[in-house]
Amino acid sequence: MVSRQPSRILHVDGDTFFASCEMALDASLSGKPVWVGGGRRGDGIVIAANREAKSFGVCTGMACFEAKRLCPHGVLAKPQYDEYRRLSREMFQIMEQYTPTLVPMSIDEGFLDLTTMRSHVWRDTTAAGYVNGLRARIEEETGLPVSAGLGRSTWMAKLATSVAKPGFVEVPPDSEKEFLAGRYVRELAGVGSRRERSLLVLGASTFGDVARLPSTVLKQKFGIWGHQLWLFANGQWNEPLLLEVKDRTTISSSTTLPYDEPEYEAARVFALSESTRLIGQLRREGLQAREMSLAIRFTDFTENGATHRFDHPQFRNSTVNGMLEQLFDETMTGHMQSVRQIRICFNNLKPLDTQPTLWGTTDAERWGALDEATQKLEGQWGDGVVLSGTQYALRYKDAVHSNPKAKCPFVPSREMAQKLWGEKLERLGCHHHSN
């Protein structure tokens, strides 16, 4: 059902999020060029850089030694993923207080539906005052600067954010066509190099060019997306933000490792940790997956992947992670290069219609109860607090080596481990190594 008034969708995005997290955690980094990344052998890559570092030419994906050459006085920060996730949760908790409809898109960005806020909350203030108040509160309480864009569709809001960075831009209703006219189509999320080339063939490099084309031409070339693009370019695309579970078909994670990981088992642990996190997201959203896929990109930029379709929709750690290990073995077979990027995707999502009991009468129910307990522990103590036997064995092996290789960063802190295992940790002779 279409809203009677134009939708007002707000996009909020963290500014250089990982680097901003580091500055929020360490006040001495303020004003300094900072990038996040690195590896023990000096062959790591930059996964985030603040604006000061970018002014020297440092950019995401660059080798850390090249970043140091460009900016010798800059600071390399090793990733602290647990802290990044904690700050992300705090940021989203603040946003939840500003609208009943919030859709997180990644660790540092989300969409908020502000359509009804004018009559109920804004009152005599402006949208800019409301949004900038939200931005100021996030920065004050978390130390994280964020940018924002407001429009009547997710497309417009996200584009407005990219124009605003750093800051806030509102695109009022009925002014979209003028705002877009001179902007390049490649600025729109979802327009990759292939679509850009196809549009250039039609003589369209800007949204103004797209608006002048017949809509039938775009629909014939790109299908429904082409028609939507034409409506968008002409300021006619009104897109309410919906939260219907049935419309959610995919949950995924794509992570570039902070260093090229040469060890097979360490990459496996990383993949299992990400899978467990995504399974937790499935549970929180009341979903289960019919299909899962794994893709791994190597340091030579080759890529391999595998997909599995379950006989029945799944949401249990034991079942899903067991299959993930099989997909991992299949994907890694024949490859000798270090791992650079891991992508995991749960597809064909269905509403979760099973509620495991605490004490089940079948193996499936008992495994479900165990998974539920694991999720609660991770919710209280953080990701990675519960390890499988394989994960713990790997951790123990790393601990007794004086010069361990790069390892998955998603492991419990020593303080957390001490609370859980106490003196057992010391008797095992384990010593904590931070990345």
Which two tokens mark 340?
């650079």
**Residue 206 and residue 169 in contact, taking contact as beta carbons nearer than 8 Å:** no
Instruction: Using a pLDDT cut of 90, give the percent of the chain over it.
Output: 32
Q: Is the pLDDT of residue 370 over 90?
A: no
Q: Is the pLDDT of residue 435 over 50?
A: no
Q: Is the pLDDT of residue 99 over 50?
A: yes
Residue range 354-381: mean pLDDT, rounded: 55
**Residue 315 and residue 279 in contact, taking contact as beta carbons nearer than 8 Å:** yes
Q: Where are the alpha helices (DSSP H) in 78-126?
A: 81-95, 117
Q: Is the pLDDT of residue 19 over 80?
A: yes
Task: Return the higher-pLDDT residue of 277 and 28.
Answer: 28
- 246-375 CATH choice from 3.90.280.10, 3.30.1490.100, 3.20.20.140, 3.40.800.20: 3.30.1490.100
Q: Residue 150 has what pLDDT? A: 93
Q: Is the pLDDT of residue 411 over 60?
A: no
Instruction: Using a pLDDT cut of 70, give the percent of the chain over it.
Output: 74
Dihedral of CA 394/395/396/400: which sign?
A: positive
Which two tokens mark 199?
């549009």
Q: Is the pLDDT of residue 283 over 60?
A: yes
Task: Return the higher-pLDDT residue of 399 and 317.
Answer: 317
* Element at 296 (helix H, strand E): strand 287-298
Which neighbouring-strand residues pair with 307?
293
Q: Distance (Å, rounded) from C-alpha 151 to C-alpha 167? A: 15
Task: Return the higher-pLDDT residue of 432 and 103.
Answer: 103
Dihedral of CA 400/401/403/406: which sign?
A: negative
Lateral strand order in the sheet of 102-106: 102-106, 109-113, 9-14, 146-151, 168-170
406-to-41, 63, 202, 398, 410 alpha-carbon distances in Å: 9, 16, 49, 10, 12
Q: Is the pLDDT of residue 50 over 50?
A: yes
Q: Distance (Å, rounded) from C-alpha 218 to C-alpha 429? A: 66
Decide: residue 246, CB within 10 A, 0-12 exposed, 13-18 middle, 19+ buried: exposed
Q: Residue 400 has what pLDDT? A: 41
> Which positions ≥6 away from 95 have C-beta within 8 Å?
12, 102, 110, 112, 134, 138
* Element at 350 (helix H, strand E): strand 339-351
Q: Distance (Å, rounded) from C-alpha 16 to C-alpha 29? A: 14
Instruction: Decide the pairing of beta strands 168-170 and 146-151.
Output: parallel
Of 137-146, 291-300, 350-359, 409-418, the least confident: 409-418
Q: Residue 399 has what pLDDT? A: 46
* Element at 278 (helix H, strand E): helix 264-284
Of 148-152, 183-187, 257-261, 325-329, the least confident: 257-261
pLDDT band at 113 (very low <50, low <70, confident <90, very high): confident
Among residues 118, 1, 25, the alpha carbon closest in space to that of 78 is found at: 25
Q: Residue 255 has what pLDDT? A: 75
Task: Return the higher-pLDDT residue of 376 and 34.
Answer: 34
Residues labelled as active-site residues: 109
pLDDT digits (tens, 9 = 90+) for 61-87: 888 889 999 999 999 998 888 888 889
Q: Is the pLDDT of residue 177 over 90?
A: yes
**How many residues can be counted in the chain?**
435
Q: Distance (Å, rounded) from C-alpha 250 to C-alpha 177? A: 32
Residue range 107-113: mean pLDDT, rounded: 87
Task: Return the higher-pLDDT residue of 396 and 106.
Answer: 106
Domain segments of the chain: what residues? 246-375
Instruction: Decide the pairing of beta strands 9-14 and 146-151.
Output: antiparallel
Lateral strand order in the sheet of 46-49: 46-49, 34-37, 75-77
* Element at 66 (helix H, strand E): helix 64-70
Decide: residue 259, CB within 10 A, 0-12 exposed, 13-18 middle, 19+ buried: buried
Which two tokens mark 259?
């260093």
Mean residue pLDDT across the chain:
78
Q: Residue 37 has what pLDDT? A: 86
pLDDT band at 415 (very low <50, low <70, confident <90, very high): very low
Among residues 327, 357, 359, 355, the alpha carbon closest in space to that of 343 is found at: 327
pLDDT band at 425 (very low <50, low <70, confident <90, very high): very low
Q: Distance (Å, rounded) from C-alpha 106 to C-alpha 157? A: 16
